[in-house]
Amino acid sequence: MAEPRDTADEKNEALAAVPEGATDETPAEPGADETIAGETAALEGRAGEELGTADADAPSPEPDATVERPFVTADETERLPEGAGADAPRLRDVTGTLGDYVRARLSEAGGFVRSHRVASAALAILAVAAVALMAMAFARAGSLPSAQQVEQDARGALSAPRYSGGTYGPDDIVVLRSVDVRSTTRSASAPEGAQGRFGASGYAVAEVVLSYSGSSVSADQAATLQYASVDGAWELIGGAEGARVAWQADAGVDEQKVLRNAHLLLERADEQAASDDATASLASLYEQADVEVTSSSFDAEAQACTVDVRYVRAGAFESYTCNLTADFSFDAQSGQWALSGVEVGEGSYERSLEGVLGTWQGTFVSQETDGTKCLAARDAGLSVTVTSAEGNAISGTVSGVAHYHGHPSDDAQSCPGDLVFEDVPFEARLVDEPDEQTGSDLTFAATLPEDVGGTVSLRLGFGTSEDPAQAVALVETSYPHTGSFLFFPVDETLTYTDRLTLSRAQ
């Protein structure tokens, strides 16, 4: 590498080659006055110092002339003198000093402990006790009865509620399924209504809900448990407070109980129909009726139940049928099913006479008349065919014998003037009151078409007070004729009433 001095000489020679006057007119290259070979213009002073060996009296260059400066060599860069950084502080020296200080203090403390063993041990025990007491105080200040303790106390303090199904609901037994600790809160004083406990450092109140269930109902029992903290332990104060039960139906009403209390449904229907001017009371009409449940439905969400009940009062000759729908609602507070309303089907007040339809054969029993008797009906008998039964009327045909004659001199098996009639149509109306002649509450009376010899009337009674299954027929013949009294003619009407029992034709 060429020395810096040679480079300066070369530059001087290059500058000498420039024509005279060119320096003043030719602009300097950018940075010519700034930096030369990495050195700033501030080196000018140092260059002067280095050139101090030159003649001090040498004339200074002209201001307008170009100044030659030598290049700065690498040996001339500024360096720290040797040993100048030896006294500068270092990080390891600082940490070392601190370590020496800590070791010295620990050594002094160890010496103190060795020279005062008993006092040091006592101080250590006191410090540990103080820390433990502080920890216990903080723990007690924020502690509460555990959920496990509250659950166990709730099981012991509360018993399963007893359940009765009442008039319509099924009887059931509920058992405990779960205990839910809803909340536990702490207070500085005894809860309202609770007696304070001596020495208690705090009180707490826990809200619990116990769930029970059976086969047809379930229940939630809510209660409040009160606690006192004594000697660091939570103690239950008294028993459960404010226990209240909410019931829920899991099944509908007991159908057997509904049947046993079916008359209550009819009484409710009569109350609802009081404004409808009903002609009869359903409760009395179906007092001896057969009852059955035809359908039942349970709505768990609505806590409601609907039951369809059929009442049938069936006699030997007549029957009544009532189809009733009963609505029940469940009361969560009492746990009882209550009748909320009934609806009576059509035709519940109407009598069905299907039992009288058919052909009936009459057997002669007796005859009533004001004189001697004609017993022609004993052989002729009676045949009644009922073809229609609607409302309070029946219709059909009848075959028998009429007595169009006067009284015989003695009772006779038959008399001239007896007229056998066959398949004579009739229409009989129901007699409102119980008929004394037939002894039946279900009696129909009809008058046959007028005949030239007289008039025949028919009375049919189905069921008597003595025998509800017995049917009777009364055939009454009215025969008008002219008689004599003391040889004087007298108009009179003779009446023959034949009584026969009826039985169904085979």
Distance CA 438, CA 237 (A): 82
**Does 90 map to a domain?**
no
pLDDT value of residue 167:
97
pLDDT in tens, 160-212: 999 999 999 999 999 999 999 999 999 877 777 666 677 688 899 999 999 99
**Does 417 map to a domain?**
yes
Task: Please indicate, yes or no, whether residues 406 and 498 belong to a single structural domain of this protein.
Answer: yes
> What is the domain range of residue 179?
147-249
pLDDT value of residue 4:
43
Going by C-beta distance under 8 Å and a sequence separation of 6 or more, which residues neighbour residue 85?
none
**Does 24 map to a domain?**
yes
**Does 265 map to a domain?**
no
Tell if the pTM clears 0.85, that is, is over it: no
- Strands 455-462 vs 382-390: parallel, antiparallel or unpaired: unpaired
Task: Please indicate, yes or no, whether residues 238 and 282 belong to a single structural domain of this protein.
Answer: no
Task: Please indicate, yes or no, whether residues 112 and 181 belong to a single structural domain of this protein.
Answer: no
More confident residue, 492 or 57: 492
170 SS3 class: coil
Going by C-beta distance under 8 Å and a sequence separation of 6 or more, which residues neighbour residue 222?
207, 208, 209, 210, 242, 243, 244, 246
End-to-end CA distance of the chain: 157
Tally of domains within the chain: 5
Distance CA 257, CA 266 (A): 15
Task: Please indicate, yes or no, whether residues 488 and 364 belong to a single structural domain of this protein.
Answer: yes
Distance CA 114, CA 110 (A): 6
Of 201, 233, 249, the residue at which a domain comes to its end is: 249
Task: Please indicate, yes or no, whether residues 459 and 342 belong to a single structural domain of this protein.
Answer: no
Residue 423: is its pLDDT beyond 80? yes
Residue 33: is its pLDDT beyond 50? no
Q: Cβ of 284: how many Cβ atoms within 10 Å? A: 10
Q: Work out the pLDDT band at 91, boundaries 50, 70, 90.
A: low
**Does 57 map to a domain?**
yes
pLDDT (mean) for 211-224: 97
**Does 271 map to a domain?**
no
Task: Please indicate, yes or no, whether residues 340 and 420 belong to a single structural domain of this protein.
Answer: no
Q: Work out the pLDDT band at 353, boundaries 50, 70, 90.
A: very high
Task: Please indicate, yes or no, whether residues 232 and 178 belong to a single structural domain of this protein.
Answer: yes
pLDDT (mean) for 420-429: 96
Distance CA 337, CA 325 (A): 16
Q: Work out the pLDDT band at 13, boundaries 50, 70, 90.
A: very low
- Chain centroid to Cα 289, Å, comes to 37
Task: Please indicate, yes or no, whether residues 128 and 152 belong to a single structural domain of this protein.
Answer: no
pLDDT value of residue 481:
79
- Strands 455-462 vs 443-447: parallel, antiparallel or unpaired: antiparallel
Range with the poorest average pLDDT among 91-95, 114-118, 481-485: 91-95
- Among 120-134, 262-276, 288-302, 441-455, the range with the most confident prediction by mean pLDDT is 288-302
**Does 263 map to a domain?**
no
**Does 267 map to a domain?**
no
**Mean pLDDT of the residues in the chain:** 81
More confident residue, 26 or 487: 487
125 dihedral zone (left: phi>0; alpha: psi -120 to 50; beta): alpha
Task: Please indicate, yes or no, whether residues 367 and 475 belong to a single structural domain of this protein.
Answer: yes
Residue 135: is its pLDDT beyond 60? no
pLDDT in tens, 364-401: 999 999 999 999 999 999 999 999 998 899 999 999 99
Task: Please indicate, yes or no, whether residues 304 and 429 belong to a single structural domain of this protein.
Answer: no
Of 350, 379, 401, the residue at which a domain comes to its end is: 350
